[in-house]
Amino acid sequence: MINISELHDKLEKISDDIKVLIASKQMDAIGKMISAMIEAQTQNELEQKYKDLRIQVQEDPVAKLLETINEMHFGDNFPIECLEPPKQDISTLKKRIKYCKNPMEKKKLEQELNTLYKEHKRNRRTVS
């Protein structure tokens, strides 16, 4: 005949063994989660360093120097003009205006054309 106290002791021992197994599996899972978190954090830090490095590389020292020169004023408070964008010729602007579908851009192009006309007119007066 089976003794109830022995059965109870065996069940407690089995229960304790199962708890140890569950705890070890949980510890493994916790360890894996911690290592994944550390790996993700390391990856984020490396990405941030890479982004910072790219930002530093993208800063052009020549452009910075020209910007500094443009900000400086001499004598009569006239700024030094550096690297103006090339002027478009009148026919190119007319074609762009003709085929432009955006009204805001079209208006801007018309303003550029008007300033170009005025500049040409001014140049003709000084040459004559």
Is residue 80 within 8 Å of 71, Cβ to Cβ?
no
How far apart (Å, rounded) are the C-alpha atoms in residues 28 and 34?
10
pLDDT digit string, tens, across residues 64-120: 777 777 776 555 555 545 444 455 688 889 989 999 999 999 999 999 999 999 988
> Which residue ranges make up each domain of the chain?
1-84, 85-128
Please state whether the predicted TM-score (pTM) of the whole model is above 0.75. Answer: no
Q: Assign residue 3 a region: left if phi > 0, alpha if psi is -120 to 50, beta otherwise? A: beta
pLDDT tens, position by position, 7-55: 888 889 888 888 888 888 888 888 888 888 999 898 888 888 887 776 6
Q: Which residues contact 74 (CB under 8 A, 6 or more apart)?
A: 80
